């Protein structure tokens, strides 16, 4: 178990959780004592927990039984993002049921709400002499999932895509276009206002983004735009998810951006998933009034109808995951150093 940092309260975060299995108890296996030992444990809840609701048309559908919530409380999650492309897979009733259920169990959800005001509302928690604020946003938004003044849904930062020819197609027919992506300016401006406002109330701000391109290790331009804007507005840590595979860690103005931690638990047979979707990690750090200190990762392989597995970064699967992250980090200059059973992360 990583030692408790003396720098401040310890945060431990995981990736996307879509849990629906026969038994909730012990679902997180050997991760449970690590998550419970942290002062703040965080992850993304990728699905509604309900037996009811109406399935959304023409999309991959995720839903877990309500008793799966007990796996989340057993693991000790304090705050969970609820701004993603599956929270309304079974409509407003299942969405609302999940929010009520998690509230009753003392797990704070952020980024989803029965209207836009609620979806934009931050979560504030106290740890020692620190006030820690959380916000969550979604950039991969199915039709009807965006919250509005009187409409339930997710807190949006939409992304736009353009396909740009760049060669003479008469001479080079069939040349793939270049792909440009960028954030919706109005949503980006609103996000920055919300982060600045939260900064006035919190000593430290954590922002979660559901973004990127599924099954793609590449960090898209809109992800970097949103991440940098989040930090410029006052975020101390940016955590990302959705691609189902690992993406790089970057530092901007000294603040870490974890673009994708992959799947932590995903109990669904998704036809396009590959062995790469089993790679994940826990991200840990100390929280202080001057920002995030001592960031590190712990290699894990995802639970797919099974418990996630911890791995030593010195050998086997754990060493392989470290090698994957080193390759992904190289364009950003981020450095990894294996120290005992964790991997220290440092800026260029």
Fold of 10-346: Purple Acid Phosphatase; chain A, domain 2 (3.60.21)
What digits encode the pLDDT tens for the residues 140-177? 999 999 999 999 999 999 999 999 999 999 999 999 99
Q: How far is it, in rounded angstroms, from Cα 291 to Cα 216?
A: 30
What is the signed CA dihedral for 147, 42, 200, 204, rounded to 10 degrees?
Answer: -150
pLDDT at residue 240 is higher than 90:
yes
What average pLDDT does the chain have?
96
219's CB contacts (< 8 A; 6+ apart) are 212, 247, 248, 250, 259
Name the band, by pLDDT with cuts 50, 70 and 90, for residue 2. Answer: very low
pLDDT score for 6: 57
- Domains of the chain, residue spans: 10-346
Model confidence at 102: pLDDT above 60: yes
What is the spatial distance between Cα 28 and Cα 307, in angstroms, rounded to a whole number? 5
Give mean pLDDT, residues 103-107.
Answer: 98
pLDDT at 29: 97
- Once rounded to an integer, what is the mean pLDDT over residues 190-205? 98
pLDDT above 90 (res 4): no
Give pLDDT, residue 303: 84
Q: DSSP secondary structure string, 312-331?
A: -TTSHHHHHHHHHHHHHHGG
In angstroms, rounded to a whole number, what is the distance separating the alpha carbons of residues 96 and 165?
44
pLDDT digits (tens, 9 = 90+) for 35-55: 999 999 999 999 999 999 999
pLDDT, one tens digit per residue, over 246-295 is: 999 999 999 999 999 999 999 999 999 999 999 999 999 999 999 999 99
Report the alpha-carbon distance of residue 321 to residue 327 in Å, rounded: 10
Pairing state between β 10-18 and 279-288: antiparallel
Predicted confidence band at 227 (pLDDT cuts at 50, 70, 90)? very high
C-alpha span between 247 and 263 (Å, rounded): 12
Residue 322 contacts residue 336 (beta carbons within 8 Å): yes
Q: β-strands 112-113, 153-154: how paired?
A: antiparallel
CA distance 211 to 240: 7
CA-CA distance, 185 to 281, in Å (whole number)? 32
* CA–CA gap between residue 116 and residue 151 (Å, rounded): 7
């Amino acid at each position: 178990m990583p030692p408790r940092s003396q720098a401040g309260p310890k945060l431990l975060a995981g990736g996307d959780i879509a849990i629906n299995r026969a038994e909730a108890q012990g679902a997180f296996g050997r991760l449970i004592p690590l998550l419970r030992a942290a002062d703040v444990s965080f992850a993304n809840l990728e699905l509604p927990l309900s037996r009811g609701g109406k399935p959304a048309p023409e999309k991959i559908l995720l839903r877990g039984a309500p008793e799966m919530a007990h796996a989340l409380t057993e693991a000790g999650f304090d705050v969970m993002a609820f701004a993603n492309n599956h929270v309304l897979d079974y409509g407003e009733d299942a969405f609302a049921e999940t929010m009520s259920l998690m509230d009753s169990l003392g797990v704070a959800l952020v980024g989803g709400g029965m209207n836009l005001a609620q979806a934009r509302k931050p979560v504030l928690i106290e740890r020692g002499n620190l006030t820690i604020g959380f916000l969550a946003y979604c950039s991969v938004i199915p039709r009807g999932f965006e919250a509005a003044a009187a409409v339930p849904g997710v807190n949006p930062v939409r992304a736009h895509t353009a396909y740009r020819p760049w060669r003479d197609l008469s001479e080079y027919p069939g040349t793939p276009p270049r792909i440009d992506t960028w954030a919706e300016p109005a949503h980006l401006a609103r996000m920055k206002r919300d982060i600045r406002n939260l900064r006035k109330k919190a000593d430290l701000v954590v922002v979660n983004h559901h973004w990127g391109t599924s099954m793609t290790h590449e960090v898209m331009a809109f992800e970097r735009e949103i991440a940098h804007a989040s930090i410029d507005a006052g975020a101390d840590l940016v955590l990302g998810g959705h691609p189902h595979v690992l993406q790089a860690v970057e530092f901007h103005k000294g603040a870490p951006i974890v673009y994708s931690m992959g799947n932590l638990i995903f109990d669904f047979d998704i036809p396009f998933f590959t062995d790469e979707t089993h790679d994940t990690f826990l991200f840990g750090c100390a929280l202080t009034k001057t920002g995030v200190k001592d960031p590190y990762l712990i290699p894990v392989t995802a639970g797919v109808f099974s418990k996630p597995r911890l791995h030593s970064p010195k050998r086997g699967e754990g060493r392989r995951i470290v090698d994957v992250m080193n390759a992904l980090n190289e364009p950003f200059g981020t450095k990894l150093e294996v120290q005992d059973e964790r991997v220290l992360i440092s800026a260029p």
